Amino acid sequence: MTDLFSAPPPTTTGPAPVPSRTAQRRRQKASAAARRRRRRRRIVVLFLALVVVGGAGWYVYEHVLPGLSFGSFSAKAADYEGQGTGPVQVTVNPGDTGTAIGRTLLDAGVVKSVKAFTEAYGANPNAAGIQPGVYTLRKEMKASEAVAMLAANTGRVEYQVTVPEGYTVEQIVSRASGVTGIPASEFAKAKKNTKATGLPAAAKGNYEGWLYPATYSFDPDVDATDILSQMIAKTKAELKTLKVPSSQQEEVLIKASIVEREVSRDKDRPKVARAIQNRLDNPDGPNAGRLETDSTTAYGLGTPTVPPTQAQNHDPKNPYSTYEHAGLPPGPIANPGQASIKAVLNPAPGPWIYWMTVDLDTGETKFGTTWQDHTDMLAELHVWQTAHAKDK
C-alpha cells in the first residue's frame, strides 16, 4: 500500500558524477602545497635540533671535557716528555679557554696535542688564573709543564720600567726608551695628543709632575701613548685617593715637586712644605714671597742635577728662577712621589722659612726662622763640603 504522505526514495541508479578537470587540478595543488609545508617544518625542526646539539657539543668540548678524566675508557693523549728544547713565544689572548690556548701551543710546536694540554689544564687548579699576555715557553714541552709555566706567570714577556721619585719627564722618557726600545721621538709625538694620553687641561700640555713614580709592567706591543697614559692614570688615581680637588691638582704637584727635589728624607718633607707655604703666605716678609730654591733654577736651565751658580740663580730671564720671581714657578720641576704630595697636603706646623741640607750623604736637613739661622746652616754645609772635598 502506498503512503500518500511519504516522499519517494532517491534514485541510486546510474554512474557517479565525474569531477571537472579544474577541480582535480585544485585538489592536486592543495595536496602538493600541504606536502611542501610538512617538508619545510621537518627541515626547520631538524635544523633547530642540529643547532641545539651542536651548541651543547661545543660547550662540552670547550668547557667540560678539559676538566674531565675518563680513566681507562679514554685514549691516552699524545704528549711530549720532559721540559722541551728551544724557546718560542706564544700569545694568550683575553678570554681564551683551555682549548683555545692548547691550539695556540700546538700551532707553535709547544705541545704535542690539544687533548694533552686540556687534560693538564683541567688537572691544574691554578690554570683558571692564567693571564693574557706574551709568554716564552719551549718547544716540545710536556703539556703539564706548559700549563704550570703559564699558571705561575713564568716566562711572561714584559718590560719593567721603574720611575724613581724626583725624575723629570726627560729622564723618564730616556729610561722607558732604553728599556722598551721605543725611540724618544715616538714619545715626543705621543705627548702632542693629550687627549689620548689623558693629560689634564690644567697641565697646559706640560707632562712634568704627571708621570707617577712607580714600577710599571708593559707587554711587548706597548707604545709610547700607552706608557704615558698609564703613568698619568696612576697620578690621577693617587690624587683622587688623597682627595685633591681637580682645581688644585696642578698647584699641589708644583709644590710637591719642589719638596721632592729639596730634601731626601721623608721626615723632612712636611717641614719643607710648611716653609714653602710660609714664604708664599708672606709676600712682605724678608724673602718678599720668593722661594729662592736652587732646584727650580736648575730645572729652568735644563740641568736638574747640577747646582746653579749665583749668577744663574739671579737670571730674570729664567722663568723658573725663584730668586728673581716671587710665587710658584710656571709648572712642576719633577715628578713627585706620595710622600711629597702628602707633605704638601699636610705640612708640619712651624714658623720656618729657611732650610738647608747640611750633610749630603745622610740627607740631614736643618730648619730656621732667621737670617742668622740660615748663615749658621750654610757654614755647617761648607764644613761638610771641605771635609769631603778629597772624596771627589
C-alpha cell belonging to residue 79:
704528549
In a shared domain, residues 258 and 124 = no
Does 47 reside within a domain? no
pLDDT tops 90 at residue 319: yes
- What's the CATH code of the domain at 91? 3.30.1490.480
In a shared domain, residues 193 and 274 = no
Q: Chain-centre distance of CA 62, in angstroms?
A: 29
Does 17 reside within a domain? no
In a shared domain, residues 376 and 253 = yes
In a shared domain, residues 195 and 183 = yes
pLDDT level of residue 70 (50, 70, 90 thresholds): very low
Cut 0.85: pTM above it: no
CA pair distance 48, 319, nearest whole angstrom: 76
What was the pLDDT predicted at 3? 39
In a shared domain, residues 266 and 292 = yes
pLDDT level of residue 213 (50, 70, 90 thresholds): very high
Domain boundary among 100, 121, 156: 156
pLDDT digits (tens, 9 = 90+) for 326-343: 999 999 999 999 999 999
Beta carbons of 377 and 353 less than 8 angstroms apart = no
Does 357 reside within a domain? yes
Domain count within the chain = 3
pLDDT tops 50 at residue 11: no
pLDDT tops 60 at residue 271: yes
In a shared domain, residues 224 and 311 = no
What was the pLDDT predicted at 26? 66
Domain boundary among 241, 258, 285: 241
Closest CA to 209 of 163, 265, 264, 272: 163
Q: What Å distances lie between residue 138 and 103, 119, 128, 175, 392, CA to CA?
A: 15, 19, 21, 30, 50
Provide the residue range defining the domain that includes 307: 248-391
CA pair distance 136, 151, nearest whole angstrom: 13
In a shared domain, residues 211 and 150 = no
Does 8 reside within a domain? no
pLDDT digits (tens, 9 = 90+) for 236-251: 999 999 999 999 999 9
pLDDT level of residue 156 (50, 70, 90 thresholds): confident
pLDDT digits (tens, 9 = 90+) for 160-209: 899 999 999 999 999 999 999 999 999 999 999 999 999 999 999 999 99
299 or 28, higher pLDDT:
299
In a shared domain, residues 309 and 363 = yes
Does 103 reside within a domain? yes
What was the pLDDT predicted at 44? 61
Region 345-361 average pLDDT: 97
What was the pLDDT predicted at 236? 98
pLDDT tops 80 at residue 73: no
Closest CA to 101 of 58, 135, 76, 77: 135
CA pair distance 299, 169, nearest whole angstrom: 11
Domain boundary among 137, 156, 175: 156
Does 173 reside within a domain? yes
Does 12 reside within a domain? no
In a shared domain, residues 260 and 384 = yes
Does 146 reside within a domain? yes
110 or 35, higher pLDDT:
110
